[in-house]
Amino acid sequence: MRRVLVLVALLAVSACSSSPDVVTVGAEPATDRPPTTDPATTDPQTNNPDTGTLDWSSCSGTAGQLMELECATLTVPLDHDAPPGDTIDIAVARAATADPDRRIGSLVFNPGGPGGSGIEFLTSVAAVVPPAIAERFDLVSFDPRGVGASTAIDCNLDFDDDVALLEAGDDTGWETLVAESEARSDSCTADSRALQPYVGTNNAARDLDVLRDALGDGQLSYVGFSYGTRLGATYAELFPERVRALVLDGAVKPTDDLALLGIEQGFDAALESFAATCDADADCPLADVGPTLDVVAGLTAAIAERGSLPTDDGDRVLTQGELQLSMIAALYSTQLWPVLADALFAADAQQDATLLQVLADTYLGRQSDGSYDNSQFAGFAINCADDPARPPVDEVRTQAELAATGSEYFGEFLRASTGCIGASDPIDPIAIGPADGAAPILVIGTTGDPATPYDWAVEMAELLSSGVLFTVEAEGHTAFLSVPCVDGVVTDYLVDLELPDDGSSCAAEASADVFSPAGEGELEQLIALFDCLRDNGLDLPEMTVGDLLSDPNGELFLDLLDPTDPAFAQAALACQDLIPGF
């Protein structure tokens, strides 16, 4: 979760782009670019003349224009084993390098999930990719099949006040969850139900190979975060000879057993690390009301007694399940630890759970109009398409209970997992293997990763014949673009194919202060900047931390800030001390 870094970068880009001397990523939009690596020896498994081509045009919307993104639609077979036949669309975006003469090729990103939108991700991170990479590659991402702007799973979803928890021994509650799970696809369109068996990672990897070919690259250069490591490793297993460079950051355990992914989690350790860091820092908002874990326990007890906590929206309340989910969401990144501390303080001392609600909303994909994106359901469908097993209901409950007993703080949340109950039967379970013959693959593991524990990266590197493990001693989920010492390692590998020694490591800056003094945090400084811009003549609304968190891709900024407006340039100059990188 890189949204704080992204928001800072977008402000800097917006301000600096008002100057004619500044060149941003993709300053020269590409048209058709020739391949820059040797062509593949075989075609990407499609005989349909309507598939596998890209017709680029400027992305619609201010965000795409600011980031100089181009968009295209890639048509691929619904069933790669039976082309020609039914096809689906894959939405693709790219930020073309500003230096095409030095271009190595395309660098494809997957942000994880599963169910995450690659296009939204690229809109966010194109501005913060190290220049040494952005100058040598077109930055490319896509919405995997079933997700976002691609041919998507379309269901009527409403997660508000509906994050399930289950107490030990609650047979009636379990039966209710099973019934709801068995009916979970009922709200989906008929086309979406037909699509679900085909959204697994094997097919996504085949789509990725069609994309590689359409981009004109003989071999794939790729960065995958979290679930994206699963996709990258599967690609390497299916197409080992087409691997140029794969960065697998925050590796998912290499298994086709979905239950194991729920049992082996690191959120308890992350919560305790957050609490210890907060309790040791006088600048943490909970310093006067803590200890932190006592505050969490107190809020849990308060919701158990009252049923919910109020927010600033009279129509919404925070439930027990949303409290647990809000903490899980914030533990993905140390950049969100101060937000979690503020949220817990407000809920405890002021009886205002608004910020906790916002954190839960960001995890669930809630939109500004109150609807939800399809990331949660798409993730369920993808995971279950990968899993070959459909165990009986009693066994699913046993697996959930095993996960719950291993967690002190999130047991009721984990106990409510119903696995793949209600999913379509698997037709193409994930291909997991050593990817014999692939070029060296860089596997990055972070020691304090709550979502993909470090041991999973060790397992991934050991499984892959050409896997090279790089360890990052830090807290948070994934490391590239968030832990500075990693950026150079990844740059050397992607650009020059220079790998670190297997088993080498780096550490996050020991001096980094997670909890800044009041008014000096990154989000607080962004709010101060908005206040300054408004005071200097721009028509801007008052902003809150919740507003910023609800805008993960910076679209709100780009709607409100027009770098071509002379009034913006004048206000930016007046507020330049508050603009990072100005």
If asked whether residues 116 and 23 sit together in one domain, one would say no
Rounded distance between C-alpha atoms, residue 472 and residue 176, angstroms: 42
For 252, other C-beta atoms within 10 Å of its C-beta total 25
Q: Which of 206, 249, 6 has the alpha carbon at shortest distance from 111?
A: 249
Rounded distance between C-alpha atoms, residue 494 and residue 98, angstroms: 17
Mean pLDDT of 361-386: 93
Q: What is the pLDDT of residues 504-559, one digit of tens each?
A: 999 998 766 889 888 778 888 888 888 898 899 888 888 888 888 877 666 666 67
Edge-to-edge, what's the strand order for the sheet holding 243-249?
Answer: 57-58, 69-77, 87-95, 137-142, 105-110, 220-225, 243-249, 441-448, 467-475, 504-507
For 218, other C-beta atoms within 10 Å of its C-beta total 17
Residue located via tokens 């680029």? 56
Structure tokens that stand for 556 in this block: 């709100």
Mean pLDDT of 153-175: 94
Structure tokens that stand for 308 in this block: 């919910």
Dihedral over alpha carbons 350, 354, 357, 363 (to 10 degrees): -120
> In this structure, is residue 242 part of a structural domain?
yes
Check 207, 209, 348, 449 and give the catalytic one.
Answer: 449
If asked whether residues 109 and 232 sit together in one domain, one would say yes
If asked whether residues 36 and 25 sit together in one domain, one would say no
Query: Bigger pLDDT: 211 or 567?
Result: 211
> Please, which contacts does 555-563 make with residues 24 or more away whose CB atoms are closer than 8 Å?
555/61, 555/62, 555/63, 557/7, 557/10, 557/11, 557/14, 558/10, 558/14, 558/62, 558/63, 558/66, 559/62, 561/14, 561/533, 563/14, 563/15, 563/17, 563/18, 563/66
Rounded distance between C-alpha atoms, residue 486 and residue 494, angstroms: 12
Residue 39, pLDDT score: 40
Helix (DSSP H) and strand (DSSP E) numbers for the chain: 23, 12
The H or E element spanning position 207 is helix 201-214
**Antiparallel, parallel or unpaired: β 317-318 and 309-310:** antiparallel
Final residue in a domain of this structure, among 425, 453, 471? 425
If asked whether residues 43 and 131 sit together in one domain, one would say yes
Q: Is the pLDDT of residue 362 over 70?
A: yes
Task: Supply φ then ψ for residue 554, to 5 degrees.
Answer: 75, 15
> In this structure, is residue 211 part of a structural domain?
yes
> In this structure, is residue 113 part of a structural domain?
yes
Candidate from 96-110, 156-170, 442-456, 557-571 with smallest mean pLDDT: 557-571
**Looking at this protein, which amino acid is placed at residue 578?**
L
Residue 572, pLDDT score: 85
Residue 499, pLDDT score: 98
Q: Would you say how long the chain is, in residues?
A: 582
Residue 101, pLDDT score: 93
Question: Is 449 an annotated catalytic residue?
Answer: yes
Residue 570, pLDDT score: 87
> In this structure, is residue 498 part of a structural domain?
yes
Check 477, 482, 487, 551 and give the catalytic one.
Answer: 477
Residue 559, pLDDT score: 73
Nearby residues of 66 by Cβ (< 8 Å), 6 or more positions away: 10, 13, 14, 17, 24, 558, 563
Q: Is the pLDDT of residue 13 over 60?
A: no
If asked whether residues 222 and 342 sit together in one domain, one would say no
Final residue in a domain of this structure, among 397, 425, 453? 425
If asked whether residues 207 and 183 sit together in one domain, one would say no
Check 18, 141, 181, 226 and give the catalytic one.
Answer: 226
Assess contact for 333 and 476: CB atoms under 8 A: yes
Residue 428 C-beta-side C-alpha neighbours within 13 Å? 20
Q: Is the pLDDT of residue 323 over 90?
A: yes
Confidence label for 196 from pLDDT (cuts 50, 70 and 90): very high
If asked whether residues 469 and 354 sit together in one domain, one would say no
If asked whether residues 306 and 421 sit together in one domain, one would say yes
Residue 569, pLDDT score: 82
Q: Which of 104, 170, 148, 124 has the alpha carbon at shortest distance from 8?
A: 124
Residue 37, pLDDT score: 47
If asked whether residues 283 and 407 sit together in one domain, one would say yes
If asked whether residues 178 and 305 sit together in one domain, one would say yes
Average pLDDT score, the chain: 88
pLDDT above 70 coverage of the chain, percent:
88
> In this structure, is residue 216 part of a structural domain?
yes
Residue 208, judged by CB atoms within 10 A of its CB (0-12, 13-18, 19+), counts as buried
Rounded distance between C-alpha atoms, residue 138 and residue 146, angstroms: 24
Query: Bigger pLDDT: 549 or 328?
Result: 328
CATH number at residue 216: 3.40.50.1820
Confidence label for 24 from pLDDT (cuts 50, 70 and 90): very low
Question: Is 106 an annotated catalytic residue?
Answer: no
Residue 8, pLDDT score: 52
Query: By residue range, what is the domain housing residue 85?
Result: 31-154+196-256+428-507
If asked whether residues 302 and 337 sit together in one domain, one would say yes
> In this structure, is residue 407 part of a structural domain?
yes
Q: Is the pLDDT of residue 100 over 60?
A: yes
Q: What is the pLDDT of residues 457-501, one digit of tens each?
A: 999 999 999 999 999 999 999 999 999 999 999 999 999 999 999
Q: What is the pLDDT of residues 108-150, one digit of tens each?
A: 999 999 999 999 999 889 989 999 999 999 999 999 999 999 9
**Looking at this protein, which amino acid is placed at residue 203?**
N
**Looking at this protein, which amino acid is placed at residue 317?**
V
Helix boundaries (H) for 307-447: 320-330, 337-349, 354-364, 375-386, 393-405, 411-415
If asked whether residues 536 and 549 sit together in one domain, one would say yes
Mean pLDDT of 269-290: 95
For 22, other C-beta atoms within 10 Å of its C-beta total 13
Rounded distance between C-alpha atoms, residue 203 and residue 430, angstroms: 9
Assess contact for 56 and 26: CB atoms under 8 A: no
Residue 387, pLDDT score: 96
Q: Is the pLDDT of residue 65 over 50?
A: no
Residue 290, pLDDT score: 87
Tally of domains within the chain:
3
Question: Is 482 an annotated catalytic residue?
Answer: no
Final residue in a domain of this structure, among 452, 474, 507? 507
Residue located via tokens 């699509």? 195
Mean pLDDT of 257-281: 93
CA dist 217 to 290, 446, 495, Å? 55, 31, 15
> In this structure, is residue 19 part of a structural domain?
yes
> In this structure, is residue 261 part of a structural domain?
no
Structure tokens that stand for 196 in this block: 């679900």
